[in-house]
């Protein structure tokens, strides 16, 4: 079985999307801005 995301067990988002979210948080964007950039829900981002 291949792991989808090596950073978080049982993650429902891909590793690529997870790294994208981390990058946006490091740029000091808030969850609403990240939601708009990634297409994920705000609850998923938080």
* Alpha carbons 36 and 30: distance in angstroms, whole number: 10
Q: Which domain holds residue 25?
A: 15-45
Q: Which residues contact 8 (CB under 8 A, 6 or more apart)?
A: 18
Residue 6 lies in a domain: no
Residue 3 lies in a domain: no
- Positive or negative: CA dihedral 19, 30, 34, 3: positive
Residue 4 lies in a domain: no
Round to the nearest angstrom and report the end-to-end CA distance of the chain: 28
Which pTM does this prediction carry?
0.79
DSSP 8-state code for residue 16: H
Number of folded domains that form the chain: 1
Residue 2 lies in a domain: no
Q: pLDDT, tens digit, for every residue of 3-40?
A: 677 878 877 888 999 999 999 999 999 999 999 999 99
- Positive or negative: CA dihedral 26, 30, 34, 35: positive
Residue 38 lies in a domain: yes
Residue 1 pLDDT greater than 80, yes or no = no
Residue 27 lies in a domain: yes
């Amino acid at each position: 079985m291949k792991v989808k995301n090596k950073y978080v067990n049982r993650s429902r988002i891909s590793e690529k999307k997870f790294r994208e979210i981390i990058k946006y948080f490091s740029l000091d964007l808030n969850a609403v801005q990240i939601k708009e950039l990634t297409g994920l829900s705000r609850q998923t981002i938080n």
